[in-house]
Amino acid sequence: MITRTLVRLSAAIEAATGVALIVAPYFVARLLLGAELSGSGIAVARVAGIGLLSLGLACWPTAGNATPSAVRALFAYNLLAALYLGYLRVGGGFVGVLLWPACLLHALLALLLAWRILRGLAES
């Protein structure tokens, strides 16, 4: 039950972020990075949004169970997203109002998913 809830939460966040990037990439970039997007940046952001929406849909638990591959995929995504968002804030000079909260959320989800992986996905 714990793993399923955690996977649903992470998948829902990624799908919602994907939809936001598809619909309003300039708004997401402003909140997350504190920067404007050019024409090509908008196109790339929308493709990223399609990818995040697809990740969320692909990882959504079916028949009440979270698959080990979904947990691993969401763990990898959240870990790498947390590291990169942290880098953007510390080394990249971006200052969006949601940058630190997004970084911390991804780090927390990565830690919780890692904990479930290490516990062998017990109580899926």
pLDDT tens string 26-75: 999 999 999 999 989 999 999 999 999 999 999 998 877 888 999 999 99
The percentage of residues in the chain with a pLDDT greater than 90, rounded to a whole number, is: 81
**Residue 84, domain member (yes or no):** yes
What is the Cα–Cα distance from 124 to 112, expressed in whole angstroms? 13
Number of neighbouring beta carbons within 10 Å of residue 27: 12
Kindly report the pTM of this predicted structure. Answer: 0.89
Distance CA 25, CA 18 (A): 9
Range of the domain at 42: 2-118
Residue 3 confidence (pLDDT) above 50 = yes
Q: What is the dihedral of CA 48, 80, 91, 51, to 10 degrees?
A: 0
- Token output for 25: 């990439």
Does 19 reside within a domain? yes
Tally the domains of the chain.
1
